[in-house]
Amino acid sequence: MEALPKSNTSSEAVLQLLLFVDKRPNSLEKTRQIRNYLSELEASHHFELQVVDVGEQPHLAEHFKLVATPSLIKIHPEPFQTLAGSTLIPQLKDWWPRWQKAAEEFEANLHKADINGAASQSTIGSIAHSAELLKLSDEIFRLKRETDELTNHLKFKDRLIDILAHDLRNPLTAVSIALETLEMGNGLKENGRNHRLTPAMTAQLLKHARTQTKAIDRMITHILQAAKGTEVGFQIRPQRVSLGDLCLDVIERLREQFIAKAQRISTDIPSDLPTVYADPERVKQVLVNLLDNAIKYTPEGGTIELTTLHRTTQKVQVTICDNGPGIPEENQEHIFEDRFRLERDQGKEGYGIGLSLCRRVIQAHYGQIWVDSVPNHGSSFNFTLPVYRL
């Protein structure tokens, strides 16, 4: 806080004021007019003024719950009173006689009680002290939160490394066995005779190796997505995106997985679907995770449906339905929690991180994500994204 320049005021003044200002160009002239008017008043009235730049003391502005600057606050005698807006000077002219009267009455009462003004002397100082304590308290809270986030982040990264090291062994072993068998195929001997692998056996081994390699790739992709999704300061880079094209791109990317289980993917994407304001890479993560889950839980020969809907003027909704086992009702509220896994999935591939990542991405877009499911009748995962506006 700074005192008004050329001030003749004393710390013993009963009437005490705070003037909150900022450095915005459109506020400078208003501030200059107010300070000039207060300087004129100062020539004939005894008061103490402190000027506060809200950019330098935001916590003090928060303390007084200011909504505009410049603002003038009478902090003593109590009660506090705030004047603000374009008519601040006319308001001050109206209130000034009453403020002066309140100050005189307070001073008279102090003399009657044989008190020399110590209460009035400490008001501005105590407010500044409270503001500093508030600022320090907020800073401590922020640092503690960042420390907790970093600690959890490091623990999660360690867990991801353990998971990756453990779960990669099985598919890597399977690929290694298939390749060794192919390598040795021309040298197989039985009863003293050389045997070559049949074309059908070679094709089967290659297919098996390819399947396991793709499984490894999915594991690494999921781990990297999860690691990025838990970064402190989770960021998105929204832009104008054709959601329909994005959905079709992801479906094409996963086509071999649909074919491997003889599944049919049905789409309903209106041609007049509006563009959305979203981060395309983050939305792809959501679509890949949800479709990957749908493929995993839909039986061979089943159908997966992806539909988009212009739900409101502000939101577009995407729904992905499967005809898998569904989700127990008691677990539907927890399915998007970090590392939550259904009991039936404990022995299956996955880490319980995909859906929590989806929730973080959608919430970062100010959207919603939820599941509708009936056990043994499949699940519908839904999320919304904001419509792009010019």
* Residue 368 token pair: 């919603």
Q: Among residues 64, 58, 67, 85, which one has the least CA distance to residue 17?
A: 64
- What pLDDT, on a 0 to 100 scale, did the predictor assign at position 145? 76
- Averaged pLDDT, 282-292: 90
Share of the chain above pLDDT 90, in %: 23
- What pLDDT, on a 0 to 100 scale, did the predictor assign at position 262? 93
Is the previous residue joined to 280 through a cis bond, with omega within 30 degrees of 0? no
What angle in degrees, to the nearest 10, is found between the helix axes of 169-184 and 199-229?
160
Most confident of 4-18, 144-158, 366-380: 366-380
Q: Mean of the per-residue pLDDT values for the chain?
A: 78
- What pLDDT, on a 0 to 100 scale, did the predictor assign at position 219? 67
Q: Specify the amino acid at residue 163.
A: I
- Averaged pLDDT, 62-76: 83
Give 16's pLDDT tier (boundaries 50, 70, 90): confident
Q: Specify the amino acid at residue 177.
A: I
- Burial letters for 139-172: b for 16+ Cβ neighbours within 10 Å, e otherwise? eeeeeeeeeeeeeeeeebeeebeebbeebeeebe
User: pLDDT by residue (tens digit) across 336-387?
Assistant: 876 554 454 544 444 346 788 888 889 889 899 999 988 888 899 999 999 9
Residue 192's alpha-carbon distances to 50, 186, 195, 199, in angstroms, are: 103, 14, 10, 22
Whole-number CA gyration radius for the chain: 34
Is-contact 132 25, C-beta < 8 A? Answer: no
- The phi, psi pair for 373, rounded to 5°, reads -155, 145
What angle in degrees, to the nearest 10, is found between the helix axes of 123-167 and 169-184?
30
Most confident of 56-60, 61-65, 249-253: 249-253
Give 208's pLDDT tier (boundaries 50, 70, 90): confident
* Residue 320 token pair: 């992905």
- Averaged pLDDT, 119-123: 49
- What pLDDT, on a 0 to 100 scale, did the predictor assign at position 131? 57
- What pLDDT, on a 0 to 100 scale, did the predictor assign at position 250? 92
- Averaged pLDDT, 23-40: 85
pLDDT of residue 122 exceeding 60: no
User: pLDDT by residue (tens digit) across 178-193?
Assistant: 888 877 765 555 555 5
Q: Among residues 307, 288, 303, which one has the least CA distance to residue 355?
A: 288
Please name the residue that has the structure tokens 């040795």.
184
Per DSSP, the three-state class of 109 is: helix
| 96, 102, 106, 111 alpha-carbon torsion, rounded to 10° | 80
